[in-house]
Amino acid sequence: MTDAFSAEQFCERCGRDTLALEKPVYDGFTKVGDQVVCATCGTPFEEEQLKAAGPVKPCIFGDDDRSPAVNVFDEGENRRLCRYCLHYIVNPFKQWCGLHRKEVEATDTCGRFAERKEKDEE
């Protein structure tokens, strides 16, 4: 089959522009090649028809379809979580606050937060 083909093709059987799908062709359990077919009706496209259209990528979604970037935390706000605290201890079985002596989660917060120095800062 061709190396590059247009993802959008005109199918003569359906009579409409449709997406072209590349499906494997098998002889028993052995893959013998690939075949480009209509996504709507499954009719195989001729190789000459694929070459005539030329390689084109489908433009289904554009920049207008993207959702805006979501920023959950303000700048530096997430730095007050327990996971960044000096008293936060992690072992394979639980996460622990050494100050309050209780089990905590990495996303918990408290009023007695003390920032842990990073190894690069020491």
pLDDT above 50 for 1: no
CB 48 within 8 A of CB 37: no
pLDDT of residue 111: 86
pLDDT of residue 2: 45
DSSP secondary structure string for all residues of 58-96: -----GGGSPPP---S-TTGGGGSGGGBTTEEE-SS-EE
pLDDT above 90 for 103: yes
DSSP 3: S
Encode pLDDT of 12-39 as tens digits.
Answer: 888 888 888 888 989 999 999 888 888 8
Q: Please, what is the average pLDDT of the chain?
A: 80
β-pairing, 8-11 with 102-103? unpaired
Encode pLDDT of 32-87 as tens digits.
Answer: 988 888 888 888 887 766 655 555 555 677 778 888 888 776 776 677 888 889 99
